[in-house]
Chains A and B, each alone.
Chain A
Amino acid sequence: MGTSTTALKGAGPVTGSRSFIAKLRDGDEIARLITLVFAASVVLITAALVLELWVNSALPRQKFGLHFFATSVWDPIMDQYGALPFIYGTMVTSAVALLIAVPLGIGAAIFLAELAPPRVSDTLQFFIDLLAAVPSVIYGLLGVFIVVPIMRTMIYPALNKPFGYLPIFKGPSYGVGFMTAGIVLAIMVIPYIISVSREVLLSVPRDQREAALALGSTRWESTWKVVVPFAKTGIMGSIFLALARALGETMAVTMVIGNTPKIAASLFAPGYSIAAVIANEFTEATGDLYLQSLIALGLVLFLLTFVLNGLARILIVVTTQKGSEVGG
């Protein structure tokens, strides 16, 4: 008797409504409620975070409006705050990072997906995944003690002497600066490009490759002209993911960027990024406008990474679905 009622209860939705107390006696309902509470708390926490950011950045919105994004003065004494130097610094360092990481990353992904035998590919991917796990403060540590001196003694002379007339290579070398931060960021985001691009390339159906080869193309031509374009959107997605990671990176950047809120054309100049200025100035921002301007910067960063992550996800899903649809 007990068994059959239990089996009936567990089988599906019960018709008719029971009282709440009756429902509570049902173990399943309790389980549902408990897990519901925890799931809802995730939504709650996220909503609270977004709300806090929005509410606590009201002052600069009121005072500066959209001008906040167009001004480049950051003066705590005069209580004037403009986001431009930090947005600029974040963009430039991320751009440098991608310029270095994308070719390397896609190249490595092609090797892992197309050329390497499966076991070699999996082993190398394992190591690349470990690279992604290295904490950012360690990248900062290496940045300060390895990349900065290399920048000063090798990279700067190599680029400044022959190309010093170009605005991006002008000016003195500090060791720290946009380019140094970009290089450190590049190392940090390569694993993301490699692992996602590799997955995406692996999902390209075999007959695409085989068709190209059958038509007489070389291995490289079939890869570069057929497989990669097929996986193009997914690779784009991996780049967006990498970009989102680079934008939000704090510690490694603040240790090597020079912490100067100025916009400069030269890549060797010191700069600042959104995450770095928050890390440096948040605990000491006296005055509500100062503090809220920093939070407003945090909100900007959050929105940027949010959009990029969303786009990335869509692109990656679209590509892998395309692969399974087209068949093979």
Chain B
Amino acid sequence: MMSGRLRWRKFVSNFMLAMTGVCAFVSVLVLFFILGYLVFNGGTSINWDFFTKLPKPVGEAGGGMSNAIVGSGKILLLASLFGVPIGFLGGIYLAEFSGKGMASVVRYAADLLNGVPSIVIGIFAYSLVVLPFKHFSAYAGAFALGMMMIPITLRSTEEFLKSVPRMLREGAMALGASKWKTIATVIVPAAYRGIMTAILLALARVAGETAPLLFTAFGNRFESHGWSQPTATLPVMIYTYAVSPYEDWHRQAWAAGLVLLGLVLIINILARTILSRGIAVPRS
């Protein structure tokens, strides 16, 4: 026999809990909405031309974004080559070699770097790499993006290395392996999945960054050769085309958005699946 007050409380409970379900549902729905909208608007514009042709002069329809796609690929590759080794080897230092003092300093610096707004990273890269060399370049853009990859790679490497079971370590040592050999042949391979995941996630994160590229890679109407020329990139092209008045450019912006989002999502899904199939490691 329920009193009126109890009935009310039960009603409130069910209602509020249902509301939370709505919140969760809406949040997830946004993702599918974004994907769907991009597919709807950009899907039809993704054709062979988009991937293989250069942009046409302003106002003329047609052309593609081949230079931006290649440009983004080049810069991301270079950024990884810059940021990943620093993060990875730095992480090894933190996990295996450092004392408490140095470790906290390095961690603190990495956290600081992680929190820097990407536009500020752009300012720094401009002052350090563009001005002294007197040109916008792919490597300036790669420097900016690489910097952004360092903190994630560093912290994740450290965490995953530390979580490798003591048994493995001690076993290797008992067999007479030196420290660095232990690290190289036993510990790192054991933590490999987690570290790989972190690197992929870092890559996905910087793949979509636009602001730091505005002052570093700048932009290029043509394919950029080598590493020291201004380079067109997907995110910057999307931005330029989206704020323009040309319908054809809008169409291409949607297509580019779809390609970019697809790339980022695939990397993310890949990374998380690698992690979930691997050894149980703590969540970062």
Q: Which A residues fall within an 8 A CB radius of B?
A: 3, 6-7, 9-11, 26-28, 30-32, 34-36, 38-43, 45-50, 52-53, 56, 103-108, 110-112, 114-116, 124, 126-131, 133-138, 140-142, 144-146, 187, 190-191, 194, 199, 218-221, 223-224, 244, 247-251, 255, 275, 278-279, 282-283, 294-295, 298-299, 301-302, 305-306, 309-310, 313
Q: Which of B22, B116, B209 is A302 in contact with, Cβ under 8 Å?
A: B116
Do B113 and A45 touch (CB < 8 A)?
A: yes
Say yes or no for B13: interface residue by CB 8 A criterion. yes
In the bound assembly, the distance between CA atoms of A198 and B105 in angstroms comes to 30
**Contact A138-B183, Cβ < 8 Å, known A111-B23, A127-B28:** no
Question: In the complex, which residues of chain B have a beta carbon less than 8 angstroms from the beta carbon of A138?
Answer: 34, 38, 208, 238, 257, 260-261
**Contact A298-B120, Cβ < 8 Å, known A141-B238, A141-B242:** yes
Question: In the complex, which residues of chain B have a beta carbon less than 8 angstroms from the beta carbon of A142?
Answer: 34, 37
Question: In the complex, which residues of chain B have a beta carbon less than 8 angstroms from the beta carbon of A191?
Answer: 27
Say yes or no for B76: interface residue by CB 8 A criterion. no
Q: Which 7 A-B pairs have the closest CB atoms?
A: A135-B208, A248-B117, A107-B23, A35-B93, A220-B13, A218-B13, A31-B180
Do A104 and B17 touch (CB < 8 A)?
A: no
Question: In the complex, which residues of chain A have a beta carbon less than 8 angstroms from the beta carbon of B147?
Answer: 45
Q: Which B residues fall within an 8 A CB radius of A?
A: 9-10, 12-14, 16-17, 19-24, 26-28, 30-32, 34, 37-38, 85-87, 89-90, 92-94, 96-98, 102, 105-106, 109-124, 126-128, 147, 150-151, 154, 173, 176-183, 201, 204-205, 207-211, 214-215, 235, 238-239, 242-243, 250, 253-254, 257, 260-261, 264-265, 268-269, 272, 283
Do A46 and B109 touch (CB < 8 A)?
A: yes
| Chain B contact residues, majority secondary structure | helix
In the bound assembly, the distance between CA atoms of A255 and B254 in angstroms comes to 15
Do A187 and B12 touch (CB < 8 A)?
A: no
Q: Can you report 9 A-B residue pairs in the complex whose CB atoms are below 8 A from each other?
A: A31-B183, A35-B89, A39-B93, A39-B154, A104-B26, A135-B208, A137-B238, A140-B242, A141-B254
Other than the given A10-B179, A220-B17, A251-B211, 12 more pairs (CB < 8 A) read: A6-B178, A35-B96, A42-B113, A52-B123, A107-B19, A112-B24, A114-B17, A134-B261, A134-B264, A218-B10, A248-B120, A279-B119
Question: In the complex, which residues of chain B have a beta carbon less than 8 angstroms from the beta carbon of A108?
Answer: 20, 23-24, 26-27
Do B243 and A144 touch (CB < 8 A)?
A: yes
**Chain B minimum-CB-distance residue to A144:** B242
Do B111 and A39 touch (CB < 8 A)?
A: no
**Chain B minimum-CB-distance residue to A133:** B268
A3, A103, A187, A313: which has the most chain B beta carbons within 10 Å? A187
Do A27 and B17 touch (CB < 8 A)?
A: no
In the bound assembly, the distance between CA atoms of A108 and B22 in angstroms comes to 8
Question: In the complex, which residues of chain A have a beta carbon less than 8 angstroms from the beta carbon of B27?
Answer: 104-105, 108, 128, 131, 190-191, 194
Question: In the complex, which residues of chain B have a beta carbon less than 8 angstroms from the beta carbon of A220?
Answer: 12-14, 16-17
Min CB–CB distance B146 → chain A (angstroms)? 10
Q: Which of A30, A48, A251 is B239 in contact with, Cβ under 8 Å?
A: A251
In the bound assembly, the distance between CA atoms of A104 and B97 in angstroms comes to 44
Question: In the complex, which residues of chain A have a beta carbon less than 8 angstroms from the beta carbon of B34?
Answer: 131, 134, 138, 142
In the bound assembly, the distance between CA atoms of A116 and B10 in angstroms comes to 19
Question: In the complex, which residues of chain B have a beta carbon less than 8 angstroms from the beta carbon of A283?
Answer: 214-215
Question: In the complex, which residues of chain B have a beta carbon less than 8 angstroms from the beta carbon of A295?
Answer: 123
**Chain B minimum-CB-distance residue to A112:** B24
Min CB–CB distance A218 → chain B (angstroms)? 4
Do A140 and B239 touch (CB < 8 A)?
A: yes
Do A42 and B31 touch (CB < 8 A)?
A: no
Question: In the complex, which residues of chain A have a beta carbon less than 8 angstroms from the beta carbon of B112?
Answer: 46, 50, 306
**Chain B minimum-CB-distance residue to A41:** B86
Do A250 and B119 touch (CB < 8 A)?
A: yes
B90, B113, B114, B254: which has the most chain A beta carbons within 10 Å? B90
**Chain B minimum-CB-distance residue to A304:** B117
Q: Which of A26, A128, A279 is B211 in contact with, Cβ under 8 Å?
A: A279
Do A250 and B23 touch (CB < 8 A)?
A: no
Do A49 and B239 touch (CB < 8 A)?
A: no
Question: In the complex, which residues of chain B have a beta carbon less than 8 angstroms from the beta carbon of A103?
Answer: 23
Min CB–CB distance B91 → chain A (angstroms)? 8
Min CB–CB distance B205 → chain A (angstroms)? 7
Min CB–CB distance B13 → chain A (angstroms)? 4
Do B31 and A127 touch (CB < 8 A)?
A: yes
Q: Which of A27, A38, A294, A305 is B178 in contact with, Cβ under 8 Å?
A: A27
Min CB–CB distance B68 → chain A (angstroms)? 12
